[in-house]
A and B are shown apart, each in its own frame.
Chain A
Amino acid sequence: MAVFSFKNKTYSRSMLNGNEAYDPGAMVAIASVTTTAGQASVSFTSIPSTYAALQIWVMGRSNEASTNATDLKIQFNSDTATNYAYHILQGNGSAASAAGGATQSTMYAFRALPGNSSTSGIFGAAVVDVHDYASTSKYKTLRVFSGSDRNAADTTYRVQLSSGLWMSTSAVSSVQLSCDVNFAAGSTFHLFGIKG
């Protein structure tokens, strides 16, 4: 028997024969973190290797006492060695530019995080994709679409496409996200697995 709850805005039914089969779909929530003020980093650990890709949704703000936007940094498996590369394509409201770096210690979504002296409630956004994260024969390529804005002609804020490379054939089992100072309270990070 199906149960509708208008109060709770839910719908449920059993998986008895004759009911529509339950299909959770390809996108599965794995973990979420909401930061406290001054939290230095966010880590997703013990990531299952059963998906085709990972996706991370970020709504972030830096705890730095400045209006300047700052960088979101991304590492895998607690690897802090120079095993990364990055590339960016961005616009800051004044000019478009591109940059890249080899043999880096981290990957980036540059200037994705508004500073904590910006208007309260302003957060930057980023969607991070890691395809074939569980492969043990491939290095890992990261794609990020990110942006921040504070309703001002501030060129530290930008919209950006970026990519990263982690030069390891290990499956990604953990992700570390950090920034130059610390995260402000209320920054949210959601990790999803995407089935293939």
Chain B
Amino acid sequence: MPATYIPIQSTTLSSSAATVTFSSIPQTYTDLCVRYAVRDDLAGNTGNSFFIALNSSASGHSNTYIRGNGATVSTGNNTTSTSWTVLYATSATATSNTFASGEFYFPNYTASTAKQGSIFNAHETNATTAFLFSSAHLFNNTAAVTSITFTANSASFVAGSTFHLYGIKKD
């Protein structure tokens, strides 16, 4: 019986990089999932947003999110853009050796309709203030997803950041 949760591509940064892209994604799965651990080199910050975009510079990215900072809860949304904003990667002044951890799930990625996905991101540091973030994402674009790009915000992801792309089959 075939497996249903299949590794497609993995990247572990050996040096800093501003972007990480999964390209030429096979169109043979039902859903996609990216599991990642990220830290960037933005000086003076414990956390920094980063971006996820489908199909390079395609438009149609919007999202609704909820966020906690260890004390208060906030919610908001971002309307049509070339990427989704994720809060946050762990940054330079956070506890050393610490990386934010997250999962980006995107079902039905080959559909010729608008598509929805979700993210759960945990930014951690040894302090009361750290950020939990969950969002629902819309890709208002009828093209099948063929690439996923992670981009640091005015910074670079540091060595040791990892990104794993999985395909999930329904049968």
Is B73 touching A85 in the complex (CB atoms < 8 A)?
no
Say whether, besides A23-B3, A24-B3, A52-B162, A163 and B101 are in contact (CB < 8 Å): yes
Q: Which of A11, A138, A139, A143 is B1 in contact with, Cβ under 8 Å?
A: A11
Q: Which of B122-157 contact A (CB under 8 A)?
A: 122-132, 134
Is B10 touching A52 in the complex (CB atoms < 8 A)?
yes
Is B128 touching A102 in the complex (CB atoms < 8 A)?
yes
Contacts of B117 in A (CB 8 A): none
Q: How far is the CA of A102 from the CA of B124 in the complex (A)?
A: 10
Which among B125, B127, B132 has the greatest number of chain A C-beta atoms within 10 A? B132
Q: Which of A125-179 contact B (CB under 8 A)?
A: 129, 131-132, 135, 137-139, 141-143, 145, 161-165, 167, 169
Cβ distance B146 to chain A, nearest Cβ, rounded Å: 21
Q: Which of A132, A139, A143, A162 is B162 in contact with, Cβ under 8 Å?
A: A132
Say whether, besides A52-B35, A145-B120, A138 and B97 are in contact (CB < 8 Å): yes
Contacts of B35 in A (CB 8 A): 52-53, 129, 131, 194
Number of chain B interface residues as a range: 35 or more
Selecting from B17-25, B52-60, B63-71, B78-86, the interface stretch reads: B63-71
Identity of the chain A residue whose Cβ is nearest the Cβ of B164 in the assembled complex: A196
Q: Tell me if B109 counts as interface (CB < 8 A to partner A).
A: no
Q: How far is the CA of A161 from the CA of B87 in the complex (A)?
A: 14
Q: How far is the CA of A3 from the CA of B37 in the complex (A)?
A: 43
Q: Tell me if A98 counts as interface (CB < 8 A to partner B).
A: yes
Is A143 touching B68 in the complex (CB atoms < 8 A)?
no
Say whether, besides A85-B124, A137-B160, A141-B100, A98 and B2 are in contact (CB < 8 Å): no
Is A85 touching B125 in the complex (CB atoms < 8 A)?
yes
Q: How far is the CA of A194 from the CA of B166 in the complex (A)?
A: 10
The residues of B with any CB-CB pair to A shorter than 8 Å are 1-7, 10, 35-37, 66-73, 95-103, 120, 122-132, 134, 160, 162, 164, 166
In the complex, the 9 A-B pairs of residues with the closest C-beta atoms, listed nearest first: A25-B3, A100-B70, A98-B68, A89-B68, A163-B122, A141-B101, A89-B132, A165-B124, A139-B97
